[in-house]
Structure 1
Amino acid sequence: MASYLSEVPPDVIFSIFIHCDIAAVVSASQTCRYLHNLALHKSVWLALVEDLRRRFLLPEILIPNLDEASTTDLIDLVKRMLTGPETWSPTSSGFTPEVSKRIPLHPTIRHRTGSLSQENEAQLSPSGRFVLFKNWRTLECWDVAADVLIWTHVPGFDRAELSEFAMDEIIDRDTLVIMICETAYYSSRNLKNYIEILELNPRSGTYANLLQVRCPDTSYDHQFQAPAIRGFVAVVALSASGHMYLVLDWQSQIAFAVEASPTHDMRAYYMLMEIIPGHLILKTRDDLYLISVQAALLSHGTPVDLNAGTPFNPVTVNQLPKILAQNINLSAEGSPRSPHMHQLSVHPSPLHRDGYRVWVFHSRSDVDAVLCSYDLVLLPGTAPSWSKRTRVPARSGLYYQRIAYSGHTEIFGWIGDRAVHQIVPPSITSTRGEIDLGRPRSRIHVLAYSGALTFTSPSEVVVLYFR
């Protein structure tokens, strides 16, 4: 084999490598010395890094000067995506996350006195080029490099205020598809809820409305939680308790609602949901499921209607067709007053184009919590599969926010009477790295691969990158 391959011209091998994912190139490099040497050629890794940038897994700001970068520099860049920023790694003496770049944006910030953390929120797009900023009653899109306001959205319904939002940055199209959740306040017990989905060209500031949906009316605030949008699919929790989710195909304009199967334990109602192409990943109290979007919509979807409102008679999780299931059990049941917190984050693999990393944080008692990770593989023509990577004890009672691909997460907590933000590594350690954000903040956006943190202050929106 080795002697045969050595007769293949390098240019032919290079033309194959540049169309492979990183895992395939690394695997080929282990077959013989000839392929090993070719796999380390700079042109191969330039193509691999460019593919990561094109897929919005690697922000442009982290890519070095390619003319000066060595193959080792490019490989180290990929390793950083897998393990997180270098200064996020704990040592025996602890660690202090070191900021390498601070990027401020300067909107005219509007908020109610004392309500900044509830009213305003900023999210960095996966490419790192744009920020969506919930500026009290409006949603703004900012160009990060230029510190320029591109677009402003005002709720289109009478008496409506912006509640939640999510975005999907479309590969090869230079557009953002944005999901906007709004609530119209007609009285304290008469609230009407809407979802708008639109497509924005952030370069020109032009946009097109794709869909408007009226959700069930409520007599309480904060109807929407945890929105997400990927491709033609959008999901959002329809209650603050998280026991019901709406799943919407905005292109076909059909939807269904799903609720957790009731039990005597009210904590069992809570669900979390993430989207990957063609599938939903759903977490209940003790289980993780992979669900086909198409199969679920065919079985339970109904057309949406803006004017009449959509009833969304919910189905239960037990009624959904499932492809895979994984039990996540804990030894302690906990007491009714013990904290019940969990988090679900799912990210495409930088190494495998058909792979995903699934992170689950799960706490069911004062002392019992775990952080688990799974590798999910969705190869065309084969049955989906997932395998457990890690399962380590975690700190119970902490609120884990979005978990990065590396497993790090940002938490808010207290040291004595001092409020702090900290980076928590995905390992069996009590060591946490404190970061100075100026004041306590309830909503901080963590970018999956770079670890960039985006948050608001009283006078600016800030993006932090770490060394």
Structure 2
Amino acid sequence: MSIESRVPELVDDILLKILTHCDICTALRASQASWRLYGLAFSREIWLALISDLLRRSFIDLPPQKDLKTLTTQSLIDLVKHVVLGPRTWKTTSTSPSEPSPMRQIILKPSPGSQITWENKPQLLSGSEFLLFQKDEILECWSTTSLQKIWEYTPKHNFYNVTSFTAEMTDDRRGIVMLVGLRIMTDETLVWKNIVELVHLDLETAVSNTLLQERVPDTKHNTGLSHLKVLGDYAVASSKSAQWIAVFKCSTLLKRTFRIRRVLQVSQMSQNEDTATLFPYDLDLIPGHLVMVSNSIEDPSRVFFLKIWSLETLIETPCNDLSIDTMAPSLTVPISLPIPSTYFKINLSSHVSPLRTDSSIMWVLTTTSSFSLVHKYHVSHTRSEPLAIQRVKSWTRIDRSRSFDILCRNSLTISYAGYVSLRWLSNISTPDVASAAIEFPYGGDHTLISAYGGVLAYPEHENIVVDYYE
């Protein structure tokens, strides 16, 4: 065969190699250029490479023993739809939907603790292979494949409580980095103090290493820490009652603490500031940046701001204990409530995009006693270009029942597809979308929806249940 006759075949081989290293959006755009590229872009080889990369980066929740290599091209594409839209069985057009059955259920059986079941807090890590589980003062890591506990966290303190924790997969799914909030008491002072520890767990050896242990400011009423985030080389810690935020760089172990201006809301029954509460705020991380939503100082009952700071800029600040308002944010987006309200909650959830390189999405849910306001943003954070943000969804919904559920929750996480766990499964992606009739135990307060796959994890009868849906 002559070289000339093999040119189309050689070109196809090169194009296939290029497409296997693209993100999904780039591959889809390439498929629109010609029928030839369309055929290549929708070949099984390309989609197996694309989905394998998402699995490596923990964007895909596969049930144990399910192998990507056994799936057809359409089944591989359906996995992406599952991430973007949520499980197919969670959508319904019926006015009285029935509860779907999970396609796979895993039950973990930890030893009984002294706490009642609903106080035990599971966190399913991205990829759904491992689950962190808080029981009494102990934090445990379980494998959903072997159904065994592989690690137990025991701080080096005589008196301590684990108040909160968060974690992310790292090292191509071979490790976990955890940020753990502790309240400890030493024999010398007999006073409770707030501590954060950054811990790395090697999943292949089950050996952990404490990378950092830092004292952080105390919180009122012994509430402990509630706002913990870790992503890439950065971690942050704060609390819903705090007027500070601590920023950590994991690789250098640098720490900076910033003061946050929070508006006091004094009760109408009393003008005593001791009875005042702080207007709510929330924070999250996207790669290289801190995101925070908080009230306007001038008009706190109606206007609030979404602000994004460069974490590198914050951590390299030479001074400690500065007001974060002295640091110029990379972006500021104002958001206004349609009706002023003095009692509401703000929930912010950010997710790195599995579809586009250097891109994330952010959900901002503001809830009052009478309505919910939802905003969804796309954020581009390419290193070579300025940060860019675009609002892609915005709507208001009057739903007093759901508003009450949200206002009663201590915390709320919104999945990439827009699902939240209230008393019932709920979707905030559009104001009129119908969700499956999945009722959660304990009002959904300790039910976790995985960030990308629509997997549920919740405590039940001293067990931890993990449900996978089609």
Same-fold call, TM cutoff 0.5: yes
Distance in 2, Cα, partners of 1:47 & 1:53: 10
Aligned ranges 1:208-357 → 2 under 5 Å: 208-217=209-218, 220-238=221-239, 240-263=240-263, 265=265, 269-285=279-295, 286-299=304-317, 302=320, 313=321, 315-334=322-341, 336=342, 338=343, 340-357=344-361
Q: CA RMSD in A?
A: 2.5
**Which consecutive unaligned segments of at least 5 residues does structure 2 have?**
1-6, 267-276, 296-303
Partner of 1:386: 389
How far off is 1:213 after superposition?
0.8
For 1:329, the aligned partner's letter is S
CA distance 1:152–1:39, shift in 2 (3 Å): same
Deviations 1:262-294 (A, max 9, x none): 445477643211112211111113111111001
Q: Normalising by the residue count of structure 2, what TM-score does the alignment of the two structures yield?
A: 0.86
Aligned ranges 1:382-421 → 2 under 5 Å: 382-394=385-397, 395=399, 396-399=403-406, 401-412=412-423, 421=424
Distance in 2, Cα, partners of 1:153 & 1:301: 34
Cα pair 2:117 2:462 within 8 Å, conserved: no
Distance in 2, Cα, partners of 1:65 & 1:151: 26
Cα pair 1:111 1:136 within 8 Å, conserved: yes
Partner of 1:53: 55
Q: Which one of 66, 71, 77 corresponds to residue 73 of structure 2? A: 71
CA distance 1:219–1:359, shift in 2 (3 Å): closer
Distance in 2, Cα, partners of 1:164 & 1:301: 28
Partner of 2:14: 12
Distance in 2, Cα, partners of 1:349 & 1:147: 30
Distance in 1, Cα, partners of 2:84 & 2:99: 17
For 1:209, the aligned partner's letter is T
CA distance 1:367–1:16, shift in 2 (3 Å): same
Distance in 2, Cα, partners of 1:212 & 1:397: 38
For the pair 1:369 / 2:401, whether they are aligned, the reply is no
Deviations 1:376-396 (A, max 9, x none): 111231111110110122443
CA distance 1:426–1:168, shift in 2 (3 Å): same
For structure 1, which segment, 352-361 or 149-158, has the greater mean C-alpha deviation from structure 2 after superposition?
149-158
How far off is 1:407 after superposition?
0.9
Cα pair 2:181 2:224 within 8 Å, conserved: no
Distance in 2, Cα, partners of 1:155 & 1:174: 23
For 2:467, the aligned partner's letter is L
Cα pair 2:52 2:68 within 8 Å, conserved: no
Cα pair 2:307 2:332 within 8 Å, conserved: yes
For the pair 1:29 / 2:31, whether they are aligned, the reply is yes
For 2:59, the aligned partner's letter is L
For 2:308, the aligned partner's letter is L
Distance in 1, Cα, partners of 2:72 & 2:463: 37
How far off is 1:61 after superposition?
2.1
**Which consecutive unaligned segments of at least 5 residues does structure 1 have?**
303-312, 413-420
Q: Secondary structure at the match of 2:337?
A: coil
Cα pair 2:63 2:104 within 8 Å, conserved: no
Partner of 1:306: none
CA distance 1:58–1:218, shift in 2 (3 Å): closer
Q: Secondary structure at the match of 1:270?
A: coil
Distance in 1, Cα, partners of 2:356 & 2:64: 21
Cα pair 1:296 1:321 within 8 Å, conserved: no
